[in-house]
Amino acid sequence: MRSERWRVVQRLSLGSTNKNFFIYHNGFIIFVKMVFRKIGILVMAIILLSLLVPILLYAQEEKPPTTNPLWIKELGDTVWCVDLSPDGKYVAVADWDDNIYLLDSKGNILWTYSTEGNVWTVAISENSNYVVAGSKDKKLYFLDISGELLWSKQLDSYVTQVALSGEGEYIAASTVKGGVYCFSKAGEELWRYNVGDKVWCVAIARDGSLVAAGSSDKNIYTFDIDGNLLWKYEADDTVTSIDISADGSYVVMGAQDEYLYVFDRDGNLLWSKMTGGTVWVALTPDGKFLATGSRVAVSGAEVGLPSGYSYEFKTVEGERLWKVLINSSVLDIDVSDDGEYVVLGSWDGFVYLLDKEGDYIWIYGLSGDRVYAVSISSNGSYIVAGTKNSRVVFLSSSIVIGGKTDEKPSPGTAEGGISFEVIVALVIVVLIALYVVKKIYEGKKRKEKIEKFRATMRRKRQE
């Protein structure tokens, strides 16, 4: 049969006009096409199934729960700083629309105070009696909780950060021209100190016994309540973040040299650790736990790269309790008083809430936004976030969608608990199976036609 077939092909190539030869040749071509068609179906099925594997694996991955905010309030411009009162009843907001805002826990604006420049920083006293804010108009504003201005002070440049002692007895402020200031709640300037370079951060112990400031000159400076310089320490780059325990026993510092530093009250360096980016710090009042977040800078410009980390340490020992990689640079961080909750704001518009084990409680995303500021209530019940796109977002740690406390299917989950991705993958598998069955059926039909054709050919040859 094989030799006869090739003789037929050869005669056809030489221009034979015998119809039987043409008929046989066409049958051979049909057979070849059928074989290749079956191989093509198999290859297609393999390719489609290989594409489905990642989908199925992704669908089976455990995804962090999400949440729904209690409310979202849109203000006039970028929300650069927020502070939540310890009981979660009040939200103070520093907005680039030149206003200081105070909102309640329902999202109502209780009052607005207008300044003459972008408001960069704000804080509420521990007893919720006072609000202090600093503006680009070079003024420091001190108001009571009802919004009445008690006093304002002209400083040497625009105010980069403010801090209050627990009851608001003392107010610390830093400026872009190197000033570090301390005032009494009566408005008396107790002291000032100039470090000679930009001061980006300032902190004060709750008992008012210690003030610390961090500068572009790479140094941290610490002062007593009388303004005496107690000690300073030089890092390898700009100091970006500082916090102090309630009694001043511990001072923590983050810097652009990507290191975290922990000191005792006397300035002894207890330990330092590399974190992989510019460091933000938040210390529990008792000084037992330290939460940090990192962000990446390229040539001094902040960039949204998937390289943010969050850590929690035991402050005294320096033991790392956990490390979490998130999908973007961390822009702000806060921790509850007992260290049970850590909240992060990120460059890609997400708020992350983690527990003391470093596990996600929930993640909430704000599409196309950046979360510049976060704050958490003392017991971790409430969280507030401020964003580039003028939004103040108020959230609860207890509202979890997709976790154990969820009573409803999460978005992207069908009734019955099967995730949307799994449903899509199953539908695609069924469609592929139907397609393959259809092609196999069509192939059988073609085979029957070919067999019928061959039978006809054999009859004709016999005739």
356-401, pLDDT tens digit by residue? 888 999 999 998 899 999 999 999 999 999 999 999 999 999 999 8
Instruction: Look at residue 386 in the predicted model and tell me its pLDDT.
Output: 97
Whether 112 contacts 100, CB under 8 Å: yes
Ranges of the chain with pLDDT below 50: 1-24, 59, 297-307, 404-418
Instruction: Give the sheet arrangement for strand 219-223, strand by strand.
Output: 199-204, 211-215, 219-223, 229-234
Helix (H) or strand (E) holding 396: strand 391-396
> How many whole angstroms separate alpha carbon 119 and alpha carbon 174?
14
Instruction: Look at residue 248 in the predicted model and tell me its pLDDT.
Output: 94
| Closest of 296, 288, 291 to residue 249, by C-alpha | 288
The DSSP secondary-structure symbol of 107 reads: S
Can you read off the two tokens belonging to residue 74?
């849109």
Instruction: Look at residue 166 in the predicted model and tell me its pLDDT.
Output: 87
- Own/partner pairs, 104-113, CB within 8 angstroms, 24+ separation: 105/70, 105/382, 105/394, 106/71, 107/70, 107/71, 107/72, 107/73, 107/392, 107/394, 109/73, 110/147, 111/146, 111/147, 112/147, 113/141, 113/143, 113/147, 113/149
Instruction: Look at residue 44 in the predicted model and tell me its pLDDT.
Output: 60
> How many whole angstroms separate alpha carbon 224 and alpha carbon 238?
23
24-42, pLDDT tens digit by residue? 455 555 555 555 555 555 5
> How many whole angstroms separate alpha carbon 135 and alpha carbon 116?
8
DSSP E strands: which ranges in 285-349?
Answer: 289-295, 297-298, 301-302, 309-314, 320-325, 330-335, 341-346
- Determine the distance from the C-alpha atom of residue 49 to the mean position of all C-alpha atoms in its chain, rounded to a whole number: 33
Instruction: Look at residue 395 in the predicted model and tell me its pLDDT.
Output: 97
- Determine what percent of the chain falls in helix, strand and coil, rounding each to the nearest 5: 20, 45, 35
Can you read off the two tokens belonging to residue 9?
């092909």
Dihedral of CA atoms 334, 337, 338, 344 in degrees, nearest 10, equals: -10
293-328, pLDDT tens digit by residue? 886 543 222 333 334 667 777 777 888 888 888 878
Instruction: Look at residue 277 in the predicted model and tell me its pLDDT.
Output: 77
> How many whole angstroms separate alpha carbon 93 and alpha carbon 375?
11
What is this structure's pTM? 0.74
Instruction: Look at residue 302 in the predicted model and tell me its pLDDT.
Output: 32
Instruction: Look at residue 146 in the predicted model and tell me its pLDDT.
Output: 97
> How many whole angstroms separate alpha carbon 109 and alpha carbon 94?
13
- Residue with the two structure tokens 């059988």: 444
Bridge partners (DSSP) of residue 393 are 72, 385
Please give the mean pLDDT across all residues of the chain: 82
Packing angle, helices 420-462 and 19-60, rounded to 10: 170
